[in-house]
Chains A and B, each alone.
Chain A
């Protein structure tokens, strides 16, 4: 099948790729660009482990076709670090022990980042509502919510 030319910005890099029309953004990120922060768990849009931020909106990259993001600006967990400093969310996740097996972590952080970008001081209830988009199979939600609260105080 014919491939398609797609151009988008991922983190600080502008990339142009030839992709399959039925390729998901998750496949492109992981297999063509070696950005393996976004994880595939359910592959059906239920769990949120593959969340990346596309034009400011958190998106399940397993449900997005790469041709759909032509021209978009994409941020993945790899793009959060600035210079040598981790993002406040990443620091807070480490300090609060909000990581158990770690499989949901990058999705959690990207979902929380999109929240903090649109709402600098979310209430605990708002954080819980947002974070409930993602599943942590270790059930470590309490510390994840605490970490997002701590990060919100720092940004």
Chain B
């Protein structure tokens, strides 16, 4: 599929990237690996006047430790991050989610920042312009209906990052920079619940770093997918356990990853969390498996992830 016209700019510093963005008056997109952005532009779901390539910015490519935090530059590729010894040793849930992301070749191109900031997905949305025009535009495209759930008042697209749920269980935070300056937010607060604008980023803001408290955890990531390679999660469940406390996070269902905190990890608490997660999950018919099956698997995978995290003594 042919790309529409846009300009290409390369930035060598965060300040330069933000200045370029301002110059295009909000009509530009930041480009890292491009594995999410380029298909969206090809499908005419995004129409930037320019793309601003961030790959020349050195400080976005480093992984560093200090003050009890592991700081990961947003442009570190998923593959490099997966192979960093700190990840496997300290954060097994993140290691497994990185390993489960797409396929090796795309892990080598896609970045952790881009993976977190990816757009939400829907079978009725990620289609060509001709397809969508014939079907009629939905909420997410600026229309007045949802093409999946008749009469719905809101969008039901799925947030399909494998790694954001894992990072949320690790209490990660995101360092952002933009025209109004820098700020740090808890990763779970990065989601709006609004289909048209699923991420709480200000105009021109970019992700600079992901910071994770450097504490050893046990953990696991379970993913429902049809093929063992490339697929987006149809349900993704991350759990991390530190001492007696644990956190679970469900992704792949709906616009916002759902978080469950367990004060004491034991069989009863896990069962209770699984039941609650099952009850609260509201999948709809916008992915390649039925909503009933995906809903059921939310509870199943949560229990499975806890079993794996605790039994293997990771």
Q: Which residues of A contact B (CB under 8 A)?
A: 1-2, 4, 20-24, 27, 43-46, 48, 51, 57-60, 62-65, 67-68, 111, 129-130, 132-134
Contacts and interface: CB of A to CB of B under 8 A. Distances in A.
B230 A46 contact: yes
Nearest to B39: A44
Contacts of B8: 4, 21-22, 65, 67-68
A45 B106 contact: yes
A51 B109 CA distance: 12
Contacts of B34: 63-65, 68
Nearest to A54: B109
Given A65-B8, A67-B8, A67-B10, A51 B105 contact: yes
B1 interface: yes
Contact of A22 (B4, B35, B104, B109): B4
Contacts of A63: 34-35, 38-39, 109
B105 A44 contact: no
Nearest to A47: B230
Interface residues of B, number: 27
A65 to B, nearest CB: 6
A57 B108 contact: yes
A43 B1 contact: yes
B7 interface: yes
21 contacts: A21-B7, A22-B4, A43-B42, A44-B39, A45-B35, A45-B38, A48-B105, A58-B105, A60-B105, A63-B38, A63-B39, A65-B38, A65-B51, A67-B10, A67-B53, A68-B53, A111-B105, A130-B104, A132-B229, A133-B106, A134-B105
Nearest to A110: B105
A45 B31 CA distance: 16
Question: In this complex, which of B3, B5, B8, B106 has the most chain A Cβ atoms within 10 angstroms of its Cβ?
Answer: B8
Nearest to B107: A133
Contacts of A64: 34
Given A45-B38, A63-B38, A1 B5 contact: yes
A149 B265 CA distance: 45
Contact of B55 (A20, A24, A68): A68
A74 to B, nearest CB: 14
Contacts of B3: 22-24
B6 interface: yes
Contacts of B10: 67
Nearest to A115: B104
Contact of B109 (A43, A59, A65, A129): A59
A47 B64 CA distance: 34
Contacts of A24: 3, 38
A60 B42 CA distance: 15
Contacts of B6: 21-22
A111 B108 CA distance: 12
A39 to B, nearest CB: 14
Which 5 A-B pairs have CB atoms at the shortest separation, nearest pair first? A132-B229, A21-B8, A133-B105, A133-B103, A43-B1
A134 B1 CA distance: 19
B228 interface: yes
Nearest to A126: B104
Nearest to B34: A63
B289 to A, nearest CB: 18
